[in-house]
Chains A and B, each alone.
Chain A
Amino acid sequence: MSIESISLSGRKKVVSNKEMSFLERMYLLAIVKGMIITIKHLFTRKVTILYPEQVREMSPVYRGQHQLKRDELGRENCTACGLCALSCPAEAITMKAEERKPDEKHLYREEKYASIYEINMLRCIFCGLCEEACPKDAIYLTTSKLLVPSSYDREDFIFGKDKLVMPLDIAMKNAQLKNAK
């Protein structure tokens, strides 16, 4: 079998510049063929999604806004090891570690925590490598459909702990659900 006769897609068509016959030169047959094709499309299902009312379904592997998790007691998981920042291909993550004081045991799970944790949303590519790198199950990319809001100021795109850490009430609710199971 020669390479010329192989068609991987099954739609291979060899073009030729042969002289057209009289019927072909009238183009009428071709026009009728074309019109039959277009009229068929009149009855096909329309692909339009009526946006504000209908929303396109998200991919099952959709990765949205990051979140820093809390455990069942509402303590932050993050220990500021910096593996997420290291794994980040876009270098979007930065943090500053601090030692936990004795009276902060109810706030942080480990003895070290991140006093500053920032993700630059202009750099982030939502690849999810931070989530994979994290040994403490602290950072996750949620399925939140919230997009990063537009702004005139670059500072606004640097998300700190105020925007990233899971709200306490949600953490408590999660813990209750887990206990109920």
Chain B
Amino acid sequence: MDSTLIIEKSVIILVVFAITMLMAMYSTLAERKVAAWLQDRIGPNRAGKGGILQPLADGLKLFAKEEFEPDTPNRFLFFTGPALAMTTALMTSAVIPWGDKFHLFGRDIILQATDIDVALLYLIGVMSIGVYGIMIGGWASNNKFSLIGAVRAASQMISYEVAMGLSLIALLMMTGTLSLREISAQQAGLNWNVFYQPLSFFIFLICAFAETNRTPFDLAECETELVGGYHTEYSSMKMGFYLFAEYANMFISSTILAVLFFGGYNYPGMSWAVENWGVNIANVIGIGALFVKICGFIFLYMWVRWTIPRFRYDQLMHLGWRILIPLAIVNIMITGIVILRAEIFAYLGF
């Protein structure tokens, strides 16, 4: 393996890691700002200009806090929980194509940490593992609130994973590939999947809300019932890791939404930009376009959070099993019929 490839990939991984962290950091500020604006307030504005240094102040505070540990027999698991939550949140970013490619130093640089052909499967897999961080943390806390929060999170994730997977199957039938790079490339121009699979997008969006434990599906940490849910017993930076993981998850799922349904790095007139301005500039704009889409979704998450109240647990299960899953299956059938329409017409003799 040639060493330039290793350097290239290392740089990409580092940059992606840094950007994910940065986005997660500033999502916390954005969350507070959006919440404030939607409630006719101003929000944090003292740390730096317009509160721009607020996440740093929050981080510093979390680091400086006392590291409290409950009297738990599972000390190892207690430490593993937040680490696992953080790891899985960051792992997903490996397969996401952040842009098409740069042409630098006489070689094509693909803006993706790794282009595996089962990227979508990998994504779903890693996102399922994400619940382990919550489960282990909640279990090891030796606290009934934490445990109930963890159990809720686990059952919620499992329920919505099914609908999520089924909604993606309809998409896969259309794209015919699991590679995110190819899925992105197929959506060139304004050929976005959301226009062909609106129902699939809709189901996936709802499931993404549930998977990231955001309102209206934040039953795992609902303050009114469970104190803090699975992270009740956590303090200091372990708590910070959980909160950070939640925002990193939000960023990643926004990215997945943008890549799968909203064309990823594609924007109208990209091929024209490649011809006239060169590959590099066109792709810088492409990365910008992707981040605009991602920020849009992050805003949607926050907007929904400050609009819709939390579901009751039976309503949550009802929505997952009895509405979304049948809807996803119907969507698969419709997609199948549309794809095979020529054969069906031929069979029926038209």
Stretch with Cβ within 8 A of A (4 or more), from B52-60, B77-85, B230-238, B301-309: B301-309
Q: Does A31 interact with chain B (Cβ within 8 Å)?
A: yes
**Number of residues of chain B lying within 8 A (CB) of chain A:** 13
Q: Does B277 interact with chain A (Cβ within 8 Å)?
A: no
Q: Contact check: which of B41, B42, B45, B307 meets A38 at CB < 8 Å?
A: B307
- Given contacts A41-B37, A42-B37, are A48 and B307 in contact (CB under 8 A)? no
**Number of residues of chain A lying within 8 A (CB) of chain B:** 14
Q: Does A1 interact with chain B (Cβ within 8 Å)?
A: no
Tell me the complex Cα distance, A48–B39, Å.
10
Min distance, Cβ B248 to any Cβ of chain A, angstroms: 25
- Given contacts A34-B307, A35-B303, A35-B304, are A41 and B42 in contact (CB under 8 A)? no
Q: Are B41 and A31 in contact (CB under 8 A)?
A: no
**Please, which residues of chain A bring their CB within 8 A of the CB of B306?**
38
Q: Does B314 interact with chain A (Cβ within 8 Å)?
A: no
**Please, which residues of chain A bring their CB within 8 A of the CB of B307?**
31, 34-35, 37-38
Q: Does B343 interact with chain A (Cβ within 8 Å)?
A: no
Q: Are B41 and A46 in contact (CB under 8 A)?
A: yes
- Given contacts A31-B308, A34-B308, are A46 and B40 in contact (CB under 8 A)? yes
Min distance, Cβ B62 to any Cβ of chain A, angstroms: 26
| CB within 8 Å of B: which A35-59 residues | 35, 37-39, 41-42, 44-48, 50
| CB within 8 Å of A: which B219-258 residues | none
- Given contacts A31-B307, A31-B308, are A38 and B40 in contact (CB under 8 A)? no
Tell me the complex Cα distance, A42–B299, Å.
12
Q: Does B38 interact with chain A (Cβ within 8 Å)?
A: yes
**Please, which residues of chain A bring their CB within 8 A of the CB of B38?**
38-39, 41-42
**Please, which residues of chain A bring their CB within 8 A of the CB of B45?**
50
Tell me the complex Cα distance, A175–B38, Å.
54
| CB within 8 Å of A: which B90-139 residues | none
Min distance, Cβ B247 to any Cβ of chain A, angstroms: 21
**Please, which residues of chain B bring their CB within 8 A of the CB of A37?**
307
- Given contacts A35-B303, A38-B303, A39-B303, are A47 and B308 in contact (CB under 8 A)? no
Tell me the complex Cα distance, A48–B41, Å.
6
**Please, which residues of chain B bring their CB within 8 A of the CB of A35?**
303-304, 307
| CB within 8 Å of A: which B1-57 residues | 34, 37-42, 45
| CB within 8 Å of A: which B148-194 residues | none
Q: Are B42 and A48 in contact (CB under 8 A)?
A: yes
Q: Counting chain A CB atoms within 10 Å of each CB, which of B34, B38, B39, B306 scores highest?
A: B38
- Given contacts A31-B308, A34-B308, are A44 and B303 in contact (CB under 8 A)? no
**Please, which residues of chain A bring their CB within 8 A of the CB of B42?**
46, 48, 50
Tell me the complex Cα distance, A38–B300, Å.
12
Q: Are A47 and B40 in contact (CB under 8 A)?
A: yes
Tell me the complex Cα distance, A139–B306, Å.
52
**Given A44-B40, A50-B42, 9 more contacts at CB 8 Å?**
A34-B307, A34-B308, A35-B304, A35-B307, A37-B307, A39-B303, A41-B40, A45-B40, A46-B40
Instruction: Pick the 8 closest A-B CB pairs, nearest first.
Output: A48-B42, A38-B307, A34-B307, A38-B38, A42-B37, A35-B307, A46-B42, A41-B38
- Mark A residues whose CB is within 8 Å of B: 31, 34-35, 37-39, 41-42, 44-48, 50
- Mark B residues whose CB is within 8 Å of A: 34, 37-42, 45, 303-304, 306-308
Sample 12 A-B pairs with CB under 8 A, ordered by A number: A31-B308, A35-B304, A38-B38, A38-B306, A39-B38, A39-B303, A41-B37, A41-B39, A42-B38, A46-B37, A46-B42, A50-B45
